[in-house]
Homo-oligomer: A and B are copies of this chain.
């Protein structure tokens, strides 16, 4: 337990006072935030962090947990973990939320399939109370590794395989990738563009497939030559853009599957002498601050609340752990959550 006496613990009343809300509102936020307006949720969460408040809820459930630690597993090698700002934002949300539950975050990643045996041993060793896993790929063994270790889990992004018959489904948190992609492409159509290309993310991830589907929802008879493959890195966006310019020099708009690929595409467009947005309009996906405002022109993109999705993953996991603790066995998992996306218009389209 923390090195402070029970008496020195900040109370829910103190949180409510600091946030300037009623005790009932503070309580609702601490227990999930349902029915509370987002600005108030933010105020209460800030007060929780500043005071170091540990909810009774968390204190109660921690008693039923053995380790007070949660594993965050990113199914990517170390260089991607540290270079893609997506992971940083997701982990930031998770980290902040876990602090409110006084749970220790331990971060793991996967250099390759050779790591699965070791991760299985670690998870099976009973060192963590739960796991949050994201960036799962189609052929990824990680979901079954986690299932076999019988560690309660929540996934970030919809996994490919929902689990076998009779196995409980693992809840996940995802963004409305398909709806967001539709908005991006509709924006380009509304600008009068007629040769709208798509630089797709890796087809072994559902987020990339959903964005491709959204593109096709709007452009039912899109020319396959206008669709090029990337892997969510800036370099792959540059490569795909170079291919597009070679095969379809008449391209007048690009929807890139994420902001990093859009930044690579933008570089190639400028090197080719094309003006953005006058000659080629460009839309990304993610609204990654460090990318969209660093490029010239600033990037029109589809915003997903990555940090908020990280927080939601933690809250879902805590619900799963509560169910375990209360009944000694699973009572079925909470429902998965799909969060909305928003088109953010800047100068590139």
- Listed in ascending order, the chain A residues whose CB lies under 8 Å from chain B are 1-4, 52, 67-69, 71, 78-79, 82-83, 85, 87-88, 91-92, 95, 99, 102-108, 111, 114-115, 117-122, 125, 127-128
The residues of B that contact A67 with a CB separation of less than 8 Å are 122, 125, 127
Are A1 and B108 in contact (CB-based, < 8 A)?
no
What is the oligomeric copy number?
Answer: 2
CA of A102 to CA of B119, assembled, Å: 10
B residues in contact with A118, CB < 8 Å: 2, 68, 102-104
Contact A52 B114 (CB under 8 A): yes
Report yes or no: B121 in contact with A95, Cβ–Cβ below 8 A.
Answer: no
Known contacts: A99-B111, A108-B107. The answer to whether A122 contacts B92 by CB under 8 A is no
Whole-angstrom CA separation of A106 from B78 in the bound complex: 12
State whether A92 and B79 are in contact (beta carbons under 8 Å apart), knowing that A68-B118, A121-B68 are contacts in the complex. yes
Closest 10 CB pairs of A and B: A2-B117, A106-B106, A82-B88, A107-B107, A127-B127, A104-B122, A3-B117, A104-B118, A78-B95, A52-B114
**Known pairs A67-B127, A99-B114, A104-B119. 18 more at Cβ < 8 A?**
A1-B121, A2-B118, A3-B117, A67-B122, A69-B122, A69-B125, A78-B92, A78-B95, A82-B82, A82-B85, A82-B88, A82-B91, A83-B88, A99-B111, A99-B115, A102-B118, A104-B108, A104-B122
Given A68-B122, A125-B67, the answer on whether A107 and B104 have CB atoms closer than 8 Å is no
